[in-house]
Structure 1
């Protein structure tokens, strides 16, 4: 029987000083409970300070002095949550990486349940804040966003926005974060063949400070969704997306011009018909525009394919789960 996995808890934060000591205490209690249940064999707690100005780093210093399994990373300025998480993932050495927010809205007591779900064969386990203690102007856009993400990506999670997640460490050898894509790690992992699950987690109202997200997050979220749709579906075959639009433009423009040509000839074949003058017909210019746009999209798709072929990322073309060979093979 294999030993239980080790865990690294990565906590990105920005100006969350009042909650850090209580959060740390709860995490330690929860992981020690998981260790007593033989779900975890060892752990690290890693705080990533994303440019805090409220004394958060001083609190992290105290915690690292008093607790040997606690570490901190301080970024030189506010780089954003995705950058903070990517920094934490690069430093994590556990078999499992758990991410959670530092504002005490995520409850560390859920950690054993995350570990149990991973033990059942899942590679990513996402939290679902089924009962969410946030105002309606945050919950309503989030509900719409979650439905769109599930519909477009096929990864049927109820709460893509939840920051409380557990991952097998190997996932981050294949999934790279940039921009605001941290909330889409389960989608990116699923696109590589990793198994994604979900559990309901308890969600608490914010006790200290204020939310770091405003209305601008909604706009950014939908733009990021378009990015994810492209990356998961067409990153290795951009011509299939851009070229399809180009072929559609060529088809519409070509069909329109063919019809106009037929009408131009027809109206001049009979004396009693009023001749068709193409330069006086608006659809003639629409067809020309469609042809030009179609040709441009097709050309752009071919250039994108060329760029993709010569700038392949440093990752395998497919995600290998297991390799077996005959024991008699020399």
Structure 2
């Protein structure tokens, strides 16, 4: 068995050497081989130089340098595509995830689970209303919508069997929803408490704007989970309902004209009828267009959501 540790890096120069030494120390006596893949996501500090320095000392530390900042999801995606391990473990590179928890995740995988998600403990001390409560609400909302109950979707530290995560479409902020994707494919998922360490260097790259992006991506994955293969069932349902309402609206206007002598221009029903019929036709056309796009989606494309400027210590081609 081989383990691949995936580190998305963005302006973390101050923590990288300490993180590498901690990982190396925790896995020194591990009964398996491992590799570390660091993805430099367009850092503007000295992260690139620090990563290259570490990589020059060992071939098990591999580096991907992006041309620009593509975001954490793209970085994790690149790490997954270039990993050769049987078990993949993404984790933050800011020392907030404890490297000592990696072995706990691997142990759970070896017990028969396909996905093991970390649940950070002690993260919100003194910030109940401003941080912890919104986090609880968000995680419960995501759990309810996806049907996969986890306490901490935002924890990067997770472990995946390679065959479960391979081929998962990742874009936007969707790396945090990988457990949901895996569950829809029949994966066995569990969650374990992991340690949380306050950031020692630099500043957090998370903000309110990311929260809004996550919520928008949540809407997308809910749609994809139910209607990815048959979007016409979604758009066509709205279209059919709109056409039916338009029919009843037109019938009501006609009955008022025949039996109550109410002229069409004296009631909004004719205008409502036209609007509903037009909306119904539009939804059905959108459904047809979505069906065409789905077929295009399923065709082999091979286009990545990121661009790599350079690679270090990658002697093997990506495992497919």
Give the alignment's TM-score, normalised by structure 1: 0.85
**What's the Cα RMSD here?**
1.9
Secondary structure in 1 aligned to 2:56? helix
Alignment of 1:86-235 (within 5 A): 86-133=77-124, 135=127, 137-235=130-228
Matched residues in 2 for 1:235 and 1:17: separation? 40
CA distance in structure 1 between the aligned counterparts of 2:300 and 2:166, rounded to whole angstroms: 10
**Partners in 2 of 1:133 and 1:29 — Cα distance?**
28
**Contact in 1 for aligned 2:12/2:93 (Cα 8 Å):** yes
**Do the aligned residues in 2 keep the contact of 1:141 with 1:218 (CA within 8 Å)?**
no
- Residues 314 and 188 from structure 1, CA distance in 2 versus in 1: closer, same or farther, beyond 3 angstroms? farther
Aligned with residue 16 of structure 1, among 12, 36, 47:
12
Deviation for aligned residue 1:44: 0.5
Matched, 1:29 2:20: no
Whether contact under 8 Å (1:9, 1:46) holds in the other structure is yes
Q: Deviations over 1:102-132 (max 9, x none)?
A: 1111111111110111112111111112432
1:69 Cα deviation (Å)? 1.9
Q: Which residue of 2 aligns with 1:285?
A: 271
CA separation in 2, counterparts of 1:263 and 1:130?
66
**Secondary structure in structure 2 of the residue aligned to 1:66:** coil
* Structure 2 residue aligned with 1:296: 282
The aligned counterpart of 1:254 is 247
SS of equivalent residue, structure 1 residue 17: coil
Does the aligned pair in 2 maintain the 1:107–1:202 contact within 8 Å?
Answer: yes
Looking at structure 1, the residues matched to 65 and 296 of structure 2 have their Cα atoms a distance apart, in angstroms, of 36
The worse-fitting range, judged by mean Cα deviation, of 171-180 and 292-301 is 171-180
Q: Secondary structure at the match of 2:8?
A: strand
Between 1:248-257 and 1:235-244, the stretch displaced more is: 248-257
Contact 1:180 1:224 in 2 (8 A): yes
Displacement of 1:311: 4.6
1:306 deviates by 3.4
TM-score (norm: length of structure 2): 0.87
What SS does structure 2 have at the residue aligned with 1:125? Answer: strand
- Contact 2:4 / 2:37 at 8 angstroms: preserved in 1? yes
| C-alpha distance 153-193 of structure 1, shift in aligned 2 (>3 A) | same
**Aligned equivalents of 1:283 and 1:147: distance in 2?**
42
Aligned-pair CA distance for 1:256:
2.1
Q: Distance in 1 between matches of 2:158 and 2:300?
A: 26
Unmatched runs of 5 consecutive residues or more in structure 1: 268-274, 316-330
RCO (CA 8 Å, sep 6+): is it higher in 1 or 2?
2
**Over alpha carbons, which structure has the higher Rg?**
1
